[in-house]
């Protein structure tokens, strides 16, 4: 349930997840990267109605992301980050290994996540890797 302070209405990540059907992990990522303008109060993110309108009225930025993904994803894989127990039931799809690394490095408890590596054309799961192992294999300074 959104919080109202005077004329200001604040939506939490839980509110947005429930209303929009977007994973909480994705919503937090959008706030961290500025894709959705939000503010963190304590440990929780909040988004105003105005920020949501800006997000939905802004021109779509997807083509640049797809272009970048094609350049850096030479093996033609996609990656699914997912929680491995009931504490974390969220999933997030990434186009490149560097996006996976960036998202995983922002998680408080890596042991709660795994990464599925999926071949884009055949949709075959090539590998399932613990998050920590994925970072060790493909981390900073290694080829994206």
What does the pLDDT read at residue 87?
66
Please give the DSSP secondary-structure letter assigned to residue 110: G
Examine residue 68 and state whether it is found in any structural domain, yes or no. no
Confidence of residue 14 (pLDDT cuts 50, 70, 90): very high
Name the pTM for this structure: 0.48
CA 135 – CA 129 distance, rounded (Å): 10
CA torsion angle 126 128 129 130 (round to 10): 170
Which of 14, 31, 57 is where one domain is finished?
57
The predicted pLDDT at position 69 comes to 40
Is residue 53 located within the same domain as residue 84? Answer: no
Which range marks the domain in which residue 50 is found? Answer: 3-57
What is the count of structural domains for the chain?
2
Q: Which residues of 13-23 are buried (b: 16+ CB within 10 A; e: fewer)?
A: bebbbeeeeeb
How do residues 63-103 score in pLDDT, each as one tens digit?
444 434 444 445 689 998 888 776 666 778 888 888 888 88
- Asked, for residue 143, whether it belongs to a domain, the answer is no
Residue of 116 and 88 predicted with greater confidence:
116
Residue of higher predicted confidence among 139 and 93: 93
CATH of residue 37's domain is 1.10.10
Q: Are residues 83 and 129 in the same domain?
A: yes
Furthest-apart CA pair in the chain: how many Å? 53
Q: Residue 55 CB: number of other CB atoms within 10 A?
A: 14
Do 52 and 18 share a structural domain?
yes
């Amino acid at each position: 349930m959104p919080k109202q302070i005077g004329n200001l209405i604040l939506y939490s990540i839980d509110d947005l997840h429930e209303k929009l059907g977007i994973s909480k992990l994705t919503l937090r990522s959008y706030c961290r990267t500025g894709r959705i303008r939000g503010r963190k109060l304590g440990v929780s993110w909040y988004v105003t109605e105005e920020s949501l309108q800006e997000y939905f009225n802004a021109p779509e930025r997807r083509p640049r992301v797809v272009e970048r993904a094609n350049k850096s994803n030479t093996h033609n894989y996609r990656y699914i980050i997912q929680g491995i127990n009931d504490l974390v039931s969220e999933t997030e799809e990434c186009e490149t290994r560097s996006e996976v690394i960036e998202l995983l490095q922002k998680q408080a408890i890596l042991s709660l996540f795994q990464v599925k590596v999926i071949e884009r054309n055949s949709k075959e799961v090539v590998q399932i890797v613990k998050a920590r192992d994925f970072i060790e294999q493909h981390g900073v300074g290694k080829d994206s």
